[in-house]
Amino acid sequence: MATDNDLMQKIISLCKRRGFVFQSSEIYGGLRSAYDYGPLGVELKRNLMDAWWLDMVRSRENVVGLDASIIMHPRVWEASGHLAGFSDPLVDCKVCKERFRADKAPAAAAGEAVVLTFADKGKAKVALGIVAKQFEVELERRGAQLVGAVAGDRGYVCPVCGSPWLSDERQFNLMFRSSLGPISPMSAIAQALEAGEFAGLGGAELRAKLEAVTKDGAVYLRPETAQAMFVQFLNVQQSMSMKVPFGIAQMGKSFRNEITVEHFIFRSCEFEQMEMEFFCEPGTDDEWMEYWCEQRMAWWKRYANDPSKFRLRPHEPDELAHYAKGCFDVEYAYPWGFGELEGIANRTDYDLKKHALHSGAKIEYFDPQQQKKFVPYVIEPAAGATRGVLVYLLDAYHEETVDGAKGPETRVVMRFHPTLAPIKVAVMPLVKKDGMTEKARAVVEAFLRRGINASYDEQHAIGRRYRRHDEIGTPWCLTIDGQTMEDGSITVRDRDTMEQRRISIDAAVDEIQELLARA
RNA sequence: GCGGGAAUAACUCAGUUGGUAGAGUGUCAGCUUCCCAAGCUGAAAGUCGCGGGUUCAAAUCCCGUUUCCCGCUCCA
């Protein structure tokens, strides 16, 4: 079995080799944290998202779908708090180069003596030089520490080395910004420059002025799909006569300008979400929270080989978002440890009330039975679709030792649930003669006509073809052999057990469809 | 963002002191083959991540840069 250390490497390598996931713009050197889903990857991702849609929308009377635009009115993000909350003031330490959040830095009153601490004497010596040269302050070095510094009027120091020499606070907005309309913000800046509007400005003042000049037409790519479901709450509820409790679901791309990206497709700036906002009467929210936690856990486990790797973890009070009353994370045991796959949050009436306040729209629900108005509470299961793809790639990967023609060898099998498998069935002639190829192609046609993704394969020896389909997770291989030509029977080989049985060639499509339905 | 490691064929990797770019696997074509990466013959495939520098000569040495991995940090 692959160890945790090299499992990711093997997955990444297999993904590229077999057409699941490629690095974006690879021939140009690659783009940071952007990935393209290849022919098999797009099938896997689509199958996963289709399964979610089927479970969350199509099989529930009280949940309907939505597909909203990615660019929304900028005031949506003011109301949601993303424009303010997303922008954490960040500061760079000019001594150790650390970048940190101003609001999380250790406090130090102006004039207070501070000690700079480094990992070792060498680093302390370098820092001593920087301070002497750039700030013309002579400090005294004691081992890995520098003494004699005094805190400025910023009220805090660098959390790593303790230095008071810091850059200005800068707003880092985690939303991707663009502009709507043909006028570029650069033109606005150029105009203002020519008009001398920036004369004499510097630091924070300059940045504020730039912000003001470029504000017209500024729009943002959505950092989550959720807001559209709140903004369109009234339209959806009224057009479909939905009665609370009900849900609005949406799948699609979201964008976050993450400071750090990591672990292949786990955290990237462009990602895909599967979110549902479930509107319920205040007071019933705790029950619904429990219901959706149970539903969502069961859904993830349903397609997994190893359900024990999923867990539901309640958020600690101090990690709750400002809007949430309670939150559970569906976590998966990734090779680097447990990490988030889905967040199920009780967002209360925070979002609807905010949008009512900012837009002036009357966002309320009238309950005809109880003859009363209220603002619904919201339970939000928000899953990462692209993270789901990674989870099932990890879950599917198996290596096993089998007897081959040249002794024991390693068989790599992607044990995808048949619902998720990119190719459901491969049809192959045992050898390329006696009319077997024609017969096999006819069987493939029959599958495709039924909407089942089938693949024809005649390349190389039969054993190799089986192994190739093991590696891309094809659940069943159908083989046309000499006996087929005599009695119309065909062999079905199972990916996981490698066992074969004979069925009638005419019943093959029905048989596989039945297996898929039962899976 | 910080620290460490890496980048050579589609994949996994060799490449000696600086001296004509290599292997295995895979891919493709053909032969053979009635069931688990069999065999034989042949072929294609590399801006050595990118850009500079040193040198008669750079995959190799130096500088910069991009991307990935690991560990921190961050993740309203």
Identify which has the larger pLDDT, A146 or A360.
A360
Give the nearest nucleotide to A34, CA to C1': B67
Closest CA to A155 of A203, A204, A104: A104
Whether the per-residue pLDDT at A302 is higher than 80: the answer is yes
- The proportion of chain A whose per-residue pLDDT surpasses 70, expressed as a percent, equals 93
Whether the per-residue pLDDT at A99 is higher than 70: the answer is no
- Nearest protein residue to the C1' atom of B49, measured from CA: A29
What three-state secondary structure class fits A395?
helix
The distance (Å) linking the CA of A456 with the C1' of B39 is: 24
The distance (Å) linking the CA of A14 with the C1' of B34 is: 31
Closest CA to A315 of A344, A341, A353: A344
pLDDT in tens, A323-332: 778 899 999 9
The distance (Å) linking the CA of A292 with the C1' of B1 is: 38
The distance (Å) linking the CA of A231 with the C1' of B67 is: 39
Q: Give pLDDT, residue A1.
A: 38
The distance (Å) linking the CA of A29 with the C1' of B20 is: 28
The distance (Å) linking the CA of A29 with the C1' of B60 is: 22
User: A117: how many CB neighbours lie within 10 A of its CB?
Assistant: 17
Four-residue CA torsion sign, A338, A301, A326, A249? positive
pLDDT in tens, A467-487: 999 999 999 999 999 999 999
Are A345 and A327 in contact by the 8 Å Cβ rule? The answer is yes
- Nearest protein residue to the C1' atom of B67, measured from CA: A30
pLDDT in tens, A235-293: 999 999 999 999 999 999 999 887 778 889 998 889 999 999 999 999 999 999 999 99
Give the nearest nucleotide to A321, CA to C1': B76
Four-residue CA torsion sign, A399, A403, A405, A409? positive
Q: Lowest mean pLDDT of A24-28, A83-87, A233-237, A280-284, name the range.
A: A83-87
Identify which has the larger pLDDT, A406 or A330.
A330
Burial class (CB in 10 A: 0-12, 13-18, 19+), A299: middle
pTM for this one? Answer: 0.86
Q: Are strands A99-101 and A63-65 parallel, antiparallel or unpaired?
A: unpaired
- Nearest protein residue to the C1' atom of B50, measured from CA: A29
Four-residue CA torsion sign, A117, A118, A120, A122? negative
pLDDT band at A111 (very low <50, low <70, confident <90, very high): confident
- Strands of A159-226 (E only): list them: 170-172, 177-179, 218-220
Whether the per-residue pLDDT at A3 is higher than 60: the answer is no
The distance (Å) linking the CA of A134 with the C1' of B62 is: 28
- Nearest protein residue to the C1' atom of B26, measured from CA: A17
Number of H helices and E strands in chain A, helices first, is 16, 26
What three-state secondary structure class fits A275?
strand
The distance (Å) linking the CA of A422 with the C1' of B24 is: 29
C-alpha–C-alpha distance, residues A199 and A350, integer Å: 43
pLDDT in tens, A336-380: 889 999 999 999 999 999 999 999 999 999 999 999 999 999 999
Give the nearest nucleotide to A336, CA to C1': B70
Burial class (CB in 10 A: 0-12, 13-18, 19+), A153: exposed
- The proportion of chain A whose per-residue pLDDT surpasses 90, expressed as a percent, equals 57
Distances from the Cα of A494 to the Cα of A267, A424, A461, A502, A512, angstroms: 35, 11, 18, 12, 11
The distance (Å) linking the CA of A175 with the C1' of B63 is: 35
Q: Give pLDDT, residue A324.
A: 79
* DSSP H or E stretch at residue A129: helix A121-135
The distance (Å) linking the CA of A5 with the C1' of B70 is: 9
Whether the per-residue pLDDT at A127 is higher than 80: the answer is no
CA angle A7, A12, A13 (to 5 degrees): 100
Are A233 and A246 in contact by the 8 Å Cβ rule? The answer is no
Give the nearest nucleotide to A6, CA to C1': B69
Which nucleotides along chain B are within 7 A of a protein C-beta? 1-3, 10-12, 26-29, 32-39, 47, 49-50, 66-76
- Strands of A356-512 (E only): list them: 365-367, 372-374, 377-384, 397-404, 407-414, 425-429, 454-456, 476-480, 489-494, 500-504
- Nearest protein residue to the C1' atom of B36, measured from CA: A463
Give the nearest nucleotide to A490, CA to C1': B35
Give the nearest nucleotide to A322, CA to C1': B76
**Which stretches within A195-255 are classed as H helix?**
203-213, 226-231, 233-239
